[in-house]
Amino acid sequence: MTDLFSKFDPLIQQRETLLATGVTDPYNLVMEKVISPTVAICNGRETILLGTYNYMGMTFDPDVIAAGKDALDKFGAGTTGSRVLNGTYQGHKECEEALKEFYAMEHAMVFSTGYQANLGIISTIAGKGDYVILDIDSHASIYDGCAMGNAEIVAFRHNDVEALEKRLKRLPPEAGKLVVLEGVYSMLGDVAPLKEMIRVSKEAGAMVLVDEAHSMGFIGENGRGVAEAQGVIDDVDFIIGTFSKSVGTVGGFCVSNHPKFEILRLVCRPYVFTASLPPSVVATAATSIRKLIHGSNKRAHLWENSKVLHKGLRDLGFTLGTVEAQSAIIAVIMPDLEKGAMMWEALLDEGLYVNLARPPATPANMTLLRCSLCAEHSIEQVGEILGRFERAGKRIGIIG
């Protein structure tokens, strides 16, 4: 018998080697108690959270929590069914209405996760004989959506408009084409040049899908994302997003103005063949989305936090993923996985949680300490975070 697990041996070996150094397992941390969007108890210690996607701090918003409790009481714990059968409740429709209002778009479709939204939309609309043209650093859910569909896949160099244009020009003019982009790329926190990319895509007759998972709620005047900030939202055919970041709960969605969009509810397998979100979740999502419409003060504060942290880390001598803060994600580049894990642990000892990101999730084999800020971090907390980075960085020898 061939052990089907033997393919994981190199990863098992790498993990064992790392843990043999005595470092805490960075992928096994338990949040024993969550006190607020920015503070939790980890290993019995009060810890500042700097590695969540809770950009707008909505997880503890009192209106959001009240809406969830009310829906739990009135509609029960779950729907036990697919959106197309018994799984569409009033709350799912309200959530879709809130999304249509938030994006000022005609159609909204709520999925059980953002992962499934990408999986479903990409695999369903790009079929045999069509082409999906995607940035090489695209999120796993985009790649998996491509793998699930039958279209030809063409990747281009990260954020390179010329490379995209070249690829598009090589494709048969009459073929169906879907260009898939992200507003903010989650590993380095860099923003896509959507304006130019959408221009070349449209010139080549392609439809455009933008995943705004890490920009929704924060970037753009109304928090609609990078496409809004760059003035091209009307040229985007499909926006994909998630409730697991700024919205503060779980779920995914696609919004669009395409006149035939509603047919997707019958043909999109990751929408049809899975249970719908629980009533409490869609109630929290709808309430949160409606509040995010009026989140301009929080957006301004989150920008301030991001800029202060970026400058502070750069001044301390850390190497960062972007020259300036482009989003609420600030990536600190580590020399290697071992040093990255040591620094991650040193920060945890200081009472600071960040994400340790490593290949294959990261571009160019980088090990990153990804910091993501929250609109609920006070400016004093950001100062405290910098102090903890300085102490840990000197202890581990990342900075002098």
Nearer to ligand PLP, 57 or 114 (CB): 114
Residue 79 or 186: the one with the smaller Cβ distance to ligand PLP is 186
Nearer to ligand PLP, 88 or 118 (CB): 118
Rounded to a whole number of angstroms, the minimum distance from the CB of residue 292 to ligand PLP is 16
| Residue corresponding to tokens 């969550």 | 34
> Which of 282, 284, 251 minimizes the C-alpha distance to 65?
284
Nearest-approach distance from CB 295 to ligand PLP, in angstroms = 19
Q: List contacts with ligand PLP (CB under 6 A).
A: 113-115, 118, 139, 141, 182, 186, 211, 213, 242, 244, 252
Question: Among residues 117 and 313, whose Cβ is nearest to ligand PLP?
Answer: 117
Q: How far is the CB of 167 from ligand PLP (least distance, A)?
A: 21
Tell me whether residue 139 or residue 177 sits nearer to ligand PLP (CB atom).
139
Between 113 and 230, name the residue whose CB sits nearer to ligand PLP. 113
Short-list 1, 223, 255, CA closest to 114: 255
- CB 274, min distance to ligand PLP, A: 12
Number of other residues whose CB lies within 10 A of the CB of residue 390: 18
Nearer to ligand PLP, 138 or 381 (CB): 138
* Rounded Cα gap, residues 121 and 116, in angstroms: 8
CA–CA separation, 362 and 41 (whole Å): 28
Q: Where are the alpha helices (DSSP H) in 88-224?
A: 90-103, 114-125, 140-148, 161-170, 194-203
Rounded to the nearest whole angstrom, what is the least distance from the CB of residue 316 to ligand PLP in the complex?
A: 27
Query: In this complex, which beta carbon is closest to ligand PLP, that of residue 141 or of residue 280?
Result: 141
- C-alpha distance from residue 32 to each of 39, 46, 194, 323 (Å): 11, 10, 40, 36
In the complex, least distance from residue 5 CB atom to ligand PLP, rounded to whole angstroms: 26
User: Alpha-carbon distance 118 to 254, whole Å?
Assistant: 8
Question: Dihedrals φ, ψ of 216, to 5°?
Answer: -55, 135
Measured in whole angstroms, the distance separating CA 36 from the mean position of its chain's CA atoms is 21
CB-based contacts of 309, cutoff 8 Å, min separation 6: 325, 330, 371, 373, 382, 385, 386
Supply the minimum distance, in Å, between the C-beta of residue 226 and ligand PLP.
12
Nearest residue to ligand PLP on Cβ basis: 114
**What kind and span of H or E run contains 185?**
strand 184-185
Q: How far apart are CA 222 and CA 216, in angstroms?
A: 9
Rounded least distance, CB 242 to ligand PLP, Å: 3
